[in-house]
């Protein structure tokens, strides 16, 4: 069985398990207890895999029902495994009492386990369990292992020091663990704000669903890159904060997050050679181009470092081997962009104060919602947006989450319609703001259907789905289905109790364009912006050419011909279906198929010519337009009936939602924790936000401290 075990591919996994038990158990145990402590399922699985190499020889010896099945159909009864375990323990003295260390010594003596495997086991333990100190101390306590494996363990100790996880400057360790985590304890972290872009169509949203394997969020990908670059140890230890939480499909051009990242300047760097005057975090470079000249310990080779540590253990005093070095900060944007997918790009970074929060320190957030002009009445959309400006209760323009939010008042600073620039802007004279909310688009009435515009809404903070709800309502106004005054009536929550039922606008055109702060000058690098510009221009070109191919196909349809009789039957069927839906919805007045407008359109089709005479598709579209049939994104629902918003069914009010929480203990407890216990007075909220909005970059502080420190060298 020993020969079989030595050839087993999974024997190393079994040895890891044995070695883990060697660290955790030092008291003698009986053979029966020993089997249990090794988790027989895991041990047997490894032995089954080992025995599979010689299954023909052992198949005749098997008796009893199989306990475990292999992929190749081989199975091993438990009696054979138990016998094999007993054989392994026979070499120990006093067959009834052995320790896990005795088992390990037996495996070393029989050369089933090599020193290399032990080294790998220690590395695995340190990385996964952080028990490096216990590994060394407990192993050295055993007399047999201490005499034969001291060199192996000491060598492994040196190797694992470099793979220790990142720790913050506030980490405290005991004297025994200080040597084992020497490299980790020398790491400095600093509070950094990152500004980045992402294409939300590839992800399930910004926020990470921690613990879910199916999570496809932006934060999951971001933290995977941060941990791979060894800039953070974990999400919990880096004090992570984000500005705006975007939903599935929503993109961002200027999202901001903040966290503590690893710095290139070690924590023991000093201004003087003798080790005095430690470099403070405020003295660190504020960008990746600047550098500071400090005294640090040089990086040594492995052999030299091992020899140096052995001398320290023998009591030899360490020489002060500091050298002067110019250190630049890590290029965070470049490092992360090399690990992130093209749909997520870091734009720049800046150091921030300790109390800075990407969420609570933000003064305003700017959203843009893109749309095609089509048949929208843009001046009416602008009128509706103007009514949204100011402080209002937006509970009818959001999805209420009563378990977390109790105040639905938000302030919108500006809301306007702007035309998207199709080319690079030309140099022009600065314009005087005349109070218009449409920028330089003075002729909104002359917009062509293919022109691209966007709603630009600037506010302090926003509710869940607030922008998409606003977009859906103003688009109803733009299509002539609602009057702009409906916005005012929806904002009057005293009269309009309960949100009318209406769908959300599509999420893909929505972009978190910018997050603004009182003092946050983000630092950008030319190489990073050049690379990012080239990549985004390539993506834009690909999508523009794809749109051009679609437009070419659409234009080619205009020369197609159809029979007039077919066109007339199509129009009559559509109008009849529209009337039937209006009657079903409770509208007494129906669409008159024989009305003057419809008669004019149908008479053009039904002329004296034969019904089989043909007409071009371009001419057909003009006639269909007179009947309010337009081939756009709503064209397939052109026969649907619009019910006025204020006549639709209403959702439950805030008070009704809160009352319903009493039916669920879990939801009621969440409401009490998030709302009742955390609710502050108006004065407390004002004082909190006044303090948080003053937080920002530390660049000015760093400049002053660096000027005062430059004379020390």
Return the pLDDT at 639. 64
Pairing of strands 561-563, 510-517: unpaired
**Per-residue pLDDT tens for 416-472?**
999 987 665 555 555 544 444 455 555 577 788 889 999 999 999 999 999 999 999
In terms of C-beta density within 10 A (0-12 exposed, 13-18 middle, 19 or more buried), how is residue 23 classed? buried
List the alpha helices (DSSP H) in 585-662.
596-605, 617-626, 654-660
pLDDT for residue 75 is more than 50: no
Between 193 and 3, residue with greater pLDDT = 193
Structure confidence by residue, pLDDT tens digits, 318-331: 446 789 999 999 99
Is pLDDT above 70 for 620? yes
Q: How confident is the model at residue 335 (pLDDT cuts 50, 70, 90)?
A: very high
Q: Does 312 score more than 70 pLDDT? A: no
DSSP state of 559: G
Q: Which two tokens stand for residue 239?
A: 């004090």
- Give the pLDDT confidence score for residue 82 in this predicted structure: 47
Convert the pLDDT of each residue in 531-549 to its tens digit: 999 999 999 999 999 999 9
pLDDT at res. 308: 62
213 versus 337: the higher-pLDDT residue is: 337
Give 182 or 622, the one with higher predicted confidence.
622
Q: Is the pLDDT of residue 80 over 60?
A: no
Indicate if the pLDDT at residue 643 is higher than 70. yes
> Rounded to an integer, what distance in angstroms lies between the CA atom of residue 582 and that of residue 8?
75
Give the number of residues written for the chain: 713
pLDDT at 516 over 70: yes
Residue 258's pLDDT band (cuts 50, 70, 90)? very high
Return mean pLDDT, the chain: 75
Strands 323-328 and 241-242: unpaired
**pLDDT value for 601:** 56
Above 80 in pLDDT, residue 123? no
Q: Which residue has the higher pLDDT, 109 or 471?
A: 471
Share of the chain above pLDDT 90, in %: 39
For 494, what's the count of Cα atoms within 13 Å in the CB-facing half-sphere? Answer: 1
Q: Is the pLDDT of residue 599 over 60?
A: no
Better-scored residue on pLDDT, 292 or 113: 292
**What is the distance between the alpha carbons of residues 578 and 590, in angstroms, rounded to a whole number?**
8
pLDDT tens digits, 274-284: 877 888 888 89
More confident: 45 or 388:
388
Per-residue pLDDT, averaged over 472-484, amounts to 94
pLDDT digits (tens, 9 = 90+) for 145-196: 343 444 333 433 343 333 333 333 333 334 444 443 455 667 899 999 999 9
The answer to whether residue 267 scores a pLDDT higher than 80 is: yes
Q: So what's the pLDDT on residue 124?
A: 56
Residue with tokens 């941990």, as numbered in its chain = 227
When pLDDT is averaged across residues 366-391 and rounded to a whole number, the result is 94
What is the mean predicted confidence (pLDDT) over 68-75?
35
- Cα torsion angle, 51, 52, 54, 56, sign: positive
Q: pLDDT: is 593 or 648 the higher one?
A: 648
**pLDDT value, residue 442:** 52
Q: Residue 271's Cα: distance from chain center in Å?
A: 39
Dist CA 331 CA 525 (whole Å): 9
* Element holding 364 (H helix, E strand): strand 362-372
Task: Give the pLDDT band (50/70/90) at residue 120.
Answer: low
pLDDT at 81: 41
Q: What is the pLDDT of residues 555-575, one digit of tens each?
A: 999 999 999 889 988 888 888
Please indicate whether residue 214 or residue 349 has the higher confidence score (pLDDT). Answer: 349
What is the pLDDT, as a whole number, of residue 293?
A: 93
Query: Would you place residue 115 in the very low, low, confident or very high pLDDT band (cuts 50, 70, 90)?
Result: low
Give the residue, 430 or 262, on which the prediction is more confident.
262
Nearest to 294 by CA among 266, 320, 321, 319: 266
């Amino acid at each position: 069985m020993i020969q079989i075990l030595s050839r087993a591919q999974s024997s190393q996994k079994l040895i890891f398990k044995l070695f883990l038990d060697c660290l955790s158990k030092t008291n003698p145990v009986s053979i029966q207890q020993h089997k249990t402590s090794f988790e027989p399922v895991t041990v047997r699985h490894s032995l089954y895999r080992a025995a599979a190499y010689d299954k023909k020889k052992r198949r005749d010896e098997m008796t009893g029902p199989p306990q475990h099945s292999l992929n190749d159909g081989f199975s091993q009864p438990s009696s054979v495994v138990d016998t094999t375990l007993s054989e392994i323990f026979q070499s120990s003295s006093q067959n009834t009492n052995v320790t896990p260390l005795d088992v390990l010594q037996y495996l070393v003596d029989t050369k089933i386990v090599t020193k290399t495997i032990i080294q790998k086991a220690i590395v695995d333990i340190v990385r996964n369990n952080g028990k490096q100190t216990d590994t060394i101390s407990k192993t050295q306590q055993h007399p047999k292992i201490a005499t034969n494996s001291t060199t192996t363990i000491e060598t492994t100790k040196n190797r694992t020091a470099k793979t220790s996880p990142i720790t913050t400057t506030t980490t405290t360790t005991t004297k025994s663990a200080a040597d084992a985590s020497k490299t980790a304890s020398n790491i400095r972290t600093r509070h950094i704000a990152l500004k980045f872009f992402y294409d939300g169509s590839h992800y399930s949203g910004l926020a990470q669903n921690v613990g879910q394997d199916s999570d496809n969020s932006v934060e999951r990908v971001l933290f995977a890159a941060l941990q791979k670059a060894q800039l953070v140890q974990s999400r919990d230890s880096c004090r992570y904060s984000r500005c705006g939480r975007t939903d599935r499909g929503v993109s961002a051009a200027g999202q901001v997050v903040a966290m503590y990242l690893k710095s290139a300047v070690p924590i023991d760097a000093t201004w003087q050679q003798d080790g005095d005057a430690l470099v403070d975090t405020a003295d660190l470079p504020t960008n990746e181009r600047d550098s500071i000249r400090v005294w640090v310990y040089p990086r040594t080779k492995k052999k030299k470092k091992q020899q140096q540590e052995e001398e320290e253990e023998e009591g030899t005093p360490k020489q002060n081997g500091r050298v002067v070095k110019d250190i630049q900060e890590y290029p965070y944007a470049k490092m992360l962009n090399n690990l992130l997918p093209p749909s997520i790009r870091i734009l720049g970074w800046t150091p921030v104060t300790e109390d800075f929060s990407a969420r609570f320190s933000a003064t305003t957030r700017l959203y843009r919602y893109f749309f095609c002009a089509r048949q929208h009445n843009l001046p009416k959309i602008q009128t509706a947006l103007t009514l949204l400006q100011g402080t209002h209760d937006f509970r009818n323009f959001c999805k209420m989450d009563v378990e977390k939010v109790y105040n639905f008042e938000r302030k919108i600073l500006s809301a306007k319609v702007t035309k998207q620039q199709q080319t690079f802007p030309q140099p022009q004279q600065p314009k005087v703001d005349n109070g218009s909310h449409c920028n330089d688009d003075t002729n909104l009435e002359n917009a062509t259907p293919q022109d691209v515009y966007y709603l630009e809404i600037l506010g302090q903070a926003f509710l869940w789905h607030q922008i998409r709800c606003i977009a859906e309502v103003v688009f109803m106004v733009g299509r002539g289905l609602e009057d702009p005054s409906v916005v005012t009536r929806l904002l009057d929550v005293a009269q309009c109790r309960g949100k009318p039922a209406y769908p959300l606008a599509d999420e893909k055109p929505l972009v978190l364009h910018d997050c603004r702060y009182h003092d946050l000058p983000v630092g950008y690098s030319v190489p990073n912006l050049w690379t990012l510009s080239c990549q985004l221009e390539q993506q834009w070109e690909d999508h523009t050419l794809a749109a051009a191919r679609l437009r070419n196909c659409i234009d080619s349809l205009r020369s197609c011909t159809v029979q007039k009789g077919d066109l007339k039957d199509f129009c009559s069927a559509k109008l009849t279906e529209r009337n039937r839906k209006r009657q079903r919805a409770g509208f007494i007045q129906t669409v008159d198929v024989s009305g003057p407008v419809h008669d004019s359109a149908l008479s053009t089709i039904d002329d004296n010519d034969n019904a089989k005479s043909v007409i071009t598709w371009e001419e057909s579209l003009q006639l269909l337009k007179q009947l309010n049939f337009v081939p756009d994104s709503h064209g397939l629902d052109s026969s649907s009936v619009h019910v006025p918003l204020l006549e639709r069914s209403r959702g439950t009010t805030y008070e009704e939602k809160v009352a319903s929480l009493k039916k669920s203990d879990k939801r009621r407890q969440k409401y009490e924790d998030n709302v009742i216990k955390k609710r502050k007075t108006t004065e407390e909220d004002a004082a909190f936000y006044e303090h948080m909005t003053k937080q920002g970059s530390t660049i000015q502080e760093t400049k002053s401290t660096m000027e005062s420190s430059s004379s020390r060298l």
